[in-house]
Structure 1
Amino acid sequence: MGESVVVIGNFDGVHPGHAEVLRRAREVGGDLPLVVLTFWPHPASVVRPGSGPRMLTRLDERVALLRAAGADEVRVVDFTPDFAQQSPAEFVEAHLVPLRPAHVVVGENFRFGHRAAGTVETLTELAGGRFAVVGLPLVHVGDEETCSSAVRAALDAGDIRHAATLLGRPFRFTGVVCHGDHRGRELGYPTANLPVPDELACPADGVYAGRVTRLDGRDAHGAALASGVEPAAWPAAISVGSNPTFDGVERRVESYVLGRTDLELYDARIAVDFVDRIRGQVKFSSVEQLITQMDDDVRRARAALA
């Protein structure tokens, strides 16, 4: 391949700080192809099994977001125990030099190589004049650094408005709709249910207003959309949690599309975009109390999305 400008990082969530790194790389590299080098799974989950952070996006979503942010190519490095043992010099020779970088752009806190021994200064030394290294300061939103950890903290607190500010977009949770307990339909509020894998981030248990979008190119009833037609983003009331009123144990994202009981979404891949928090999770003493609260949740979700 010809020369390129290379950006390196985890890029979990692809927030505005990450987008700024890509923008600056494009600025530095001019017409050179912009190649992003990222890692999967998260290094911490390999170096310290069980301690890795919950990811803000799936890998395919990260790649799509990076391309939308300006990447011409995304190279995914499989972060294995063997890879974790590579020295900084081995990393440069095996993964950077073959890309023929004229410039390598990273965040100023970039670390690489065995035991994260490599820094921006190390990378500059190892470049040996073969490519230029640019270390960029972190982007701030107000007085807060824009970082994936801050987004996770906001989600854990149920503060999805702040998470959206840090991400530059509403937080999105995706998955394939599965069969639940069918109680929602019996109560007059049929829901599209997504399991919450342990490795993915999700807002704190509670009820939210948001939107649901089908991602498989089909409409509400499973018919293929015409070429060029964008899928609808349906307003929804969204419950996150284990359904404690019925002593549930599996954590799920359950979305009721407002005013719709005709949707056919089983086995469809959907996206749930969180817009506002309505309340925390509550265990009700009766089904009647639950229905009364659900009526109010739907009213408040409509108001939040109006």
Structure 2
Amino acid sequence: MQVWHGAAEVPADLGPTVATLGIFDGVHRGHQVVLAATVSEAESAGLSSVAVTFDPHPATVHRPDEDFSLIASLPDRLERLTGTGLDGVLVVPYTLDFARATPEEFVRAYLVELLHARIVVVGDDVRFGRDNSGDRDTMVELGRAFGLGVEIIADIADPETGRRWSSTWVRELLAAGDVAAAARVLGRAHRVRGIVVHGAKRGRALGYPTANLRADDLGVVPADGVYAGWLIRPDHSPDDGTSKRLPAAVSVGTNPTFHGVERTVEAYVLGRTDLDLYGEEVVVELTERLRPQVTFVGIDALLDQMADDVAEVAHALDVPAPVRPPAPEESHAQ
């Protein structure tokens, strides 16, 4: 799949396409239906399939003071889009100047003139152009004006609940810590991506060294608690047979036992004390919430719970449980 960051990167000899557009935050199952229809239409017509997406998210441009986080970072969004079978993705830099374009101006400039679209596939809830004034009916009207075929994909609902797949639903589930249900809407486990930073190193002192990520840099982070998951090293090229995908016990929160105030995501790779991940970009994938975050009285109680958490994580991930590390000598004196 080709990725073009801005109109200038689109090749001049790009042939006719079938196009779709959207933020595709999370690339959830509703998005996947629209993207699959785009790919299918293109294959049937012998054309290229292209998705238009936007970065940063319009909400952060129009309402910069609001607390808004993405479900998926742009690299994760593009990785998921690659898996849909698309031939290309155009990432349009979203600015206030760009946002002033009318629906007609957007369709003419990007879909007709730049991408040479013959067919446009969009969801029933599509919005585009200045003040989100363009909708499905607008797209149909502009399709007639520009000679575009327009396919509208009706909202797809979850067969178990009847609720339509949506990014809003994913956010609600993550806010409740229900990463398993969020995975059902997303079609895969929720993940966060960030740079490993130095922490207080308490985990190392206790025998459970963790890779620490600042939660405010990661997009949508689920509710505080302890999770089973995986630590993934996307840029790691091992020459020793080690895996890029490692089972991990993940703690989300402020470390109330130690009176912490900064919210972090800390991942302990099961049985590994030899990893040096500082400064490395990692992905933390969250598959199951085990318990909420609680405050412990004394280090011994904390160590017992950590050992239980690690054993439960190993069971949830169906991997061998590591041997419990020896308690630090000073723990019994506290």
- Length-normalised TM-score, structure 1: 0.92
State yes or no: 1:297 paired with 2:313.
no
Secondary structure at the residue paired with 1:2? Answer: coil
Q: How far apart are residue 37 of structure 1 and its match?
A: 0.3
* Native 8 Å contact 2:179 2:289 kept in 1: yes
Question: Which 10-residue stretch deviates more, 146-155 or 229-238?
Answer: 229-238
Partner of 1:104: 120
Q: How far apart are residue 199 of structure 1 and its match?
A: 6.5
State yes or no: 1:256 paired with 2:268.
yes
Partner of 2:164: 145
Distance 1:52 1:242, change over 3 A: closer
Secondary structure at the residue paired with 1:152? Answer: helix
The CA distance in 1 between the partners of 2:103 and 2:242, in whole Å, is 45
* Native 8 Å contact 1:105 1:133 kept in 2: yes
Partner of 2:61: 46
Secondary structure at the residue paired with 2:199? Answer: coil
What is the aligned counterpart of 2:190 among 171, 186, 191?
A: 171
* Native 8 Å contact 1:44 1:52 kept in 2: no
Q: How far apart are residue 8 of structure 1 and its match?
A: 0.5
Question: Which 10-residue stretch deviates more, 42-51 or 109-118?
Answer: 42-51
Unaligned runs of at least 5 residues, structure 1: 220-224
State yes or no: 1:7 paired with 2:24.
no
Secondary structure at the residue paired with 1:153? Answer: helix
The CA distance in 2 between the partners of 1:38 and 1:270, in whole Å, is 24
Look at both structures and tell me which one has the larger radius of gyration over its CA atoms.
2
State yes or no: 1:119 paired with 2:131.
no
The CA distance in 2 between the partners of 1:74 and 1:189, in whole Å, is 41
**Deviation readout 1:156-207 (Å, 9 max, x if unpaired):** 1000110111111111111121111100010111111111225610111100
- Length-normalised TM-score, structure 2: 0.85
* Native 8 Å contact 1:42 1:53 kept in 2: no
Partner of 1:247: 259
One-letter identity of the residue aligned with 1:240? V
Task: Kindly report which structure 2 residues correspond to 1:72-221, keeping only aligned pairs within 5 A, or say none.
Answer: 72-98=87-113, 99-127=115-143, 128-142=145-159, 143-197=162-216, 200-219=219-238
The CA distance in 1 between the partners of 2:276 and 2:235, in whole Å, is 13
One-letter identity of the residue aligned with 1:74? V
Q: How far apart are residue 52 of structure 1 and its match?
A: 6.2
Question: Which 10-residue stretch deviates more, 184-193 or 84-93?
Answer: 84-93
* Native 8 Å contact 1:53 1:199 kept in 2: no
The CA distance in 1 between the partners of 2:218 and 2:310, in whole Å, is 30
Distance 1:201 1:258, change over 3 A: same
Unaligned runs of at least 5 residues, structure 2: 1-13, 319-334
* Native 8 Å contact 2:173 2:179 kept in 1: yes
One-letter identity of the residue aligned with 1:21? V
* Native 8 Å contact 1:215 1:231 kept in 2: no
> What's the Cα RMSD here?
1.7
State yes or no: 1:23 paired with 2:36.
yes
The CA distance in 2 between the partners of 1:232 and 1:48, in whole Å, is 38
* Native 8 Å contact 2:193 2:218 kept in 1: no
* Native 8 Å contact 2:18 2:47 kept in 1: yes
* Native 8 Å contact 1:13 1:148 kept in 2: yes
Q: How far apart are residue 217 of structure 1 and its match?
A: 2.2
Distance 1:52 1:179, change over 3 A: closer
Partner of 2:247: 235
One-letter identity of the residue aligned with 1:208? Y
Secondary structure at the residue paired with 1:197? Answer: helix
The CA distance in 2 between the partners of 1:199 and 1:132, in whole Å, is 39
